[in-house]
Amino acid sequence: MPINDADYPDGQAGQGAKLGALGFDASGHRGGGIERPIVVTLPANAVLLRLYKPVLNKGDTPGDFGAWWFTPFEYRRICDYFGVDGSALIQGRSAGASALHGVLALLHEWYGGDPAQLSYINAVRLKAPLLASYGSGAPANTDGYGRTLKPVRLTGGTSARQVYIHKCWQYQAAMERLLPVNALTDSVLGAAQGAGTGIAAAPRLGFEA
């Protein structure tokens, strides 16, 4: 049984998990999220990747175990679309101009041009099954919906598929780190083997098309 089934009663996302996956914040503003999330089971031994920046404010949730993740299969899909390896995906990262900024639809207004955005990467292997929301990323919206940024559409016409684990930081004991704490994105994705053979070559999950 998934260890976070309380967040997904009867296999469906509870209110908090549903609104979080859709990208709603506490004020009711939808900043982005997943277009049409479905609930999936992430099996034990599944590998997940997360890009993040340092925790900057007291009370922030752990950056390395935040709610938003993607799979190695999706990483390969992004690389294949651009016809490059991981090092090219992060060119221009500190200036907010990398391919990953476009794929993830990261609005400048969200991070104020902070060069630390996406500066760290976490890779984990699940020790136990987890329930999550999954689907293609939605357009990003500023507060007041003054500006919208659509994510890059990959092969097949869909944006990058994302994994949302509600209150993920509560379940980090069920995740085995595959990289050192606060591993630098530029070093990991910029290495000769991209994300590393053991990570990038992780098998496709059953729900991934």
Summarised one tens digit per residue, pLDDT across range 105-129 is 988 887 777 888 899 999 999 999 9
b/e burial code for range 172-201 (CB count within 10 A of at least 16 → b): eebbeebbeeebebbebbbeeebbbeebbe
Chain position carrying tokens 């999936």: 40
Domain-wise residue ranges, the chain: 5-200
Chain position carrying tokens 């919206």: 141
Q: How many CB atoms lie within 10 A of CB 74?
A: 21
- For 38-78, the pLDDT digits (tens) are 999 999 999 999 999 876 555 556 689 999 999 999 999 99
Chain position carrying tokens 């999954």: 134
Instruction: Indicate the pTM of the whole model.
Output: 0.92
Mean pLDDT within 142-157: 90
What gap in Å lies between CA 209 and CA 203, rounded to an integer? 12
Which run of H or of E encompasses 183?
A: strand 183-184
- For 175-205, the pLDDT digits (tens) are 999 999 889 999 888 876 566 656 878 999 9
More confident residue, 181 or 138: 138
More confident residue, 112 or 1: 1
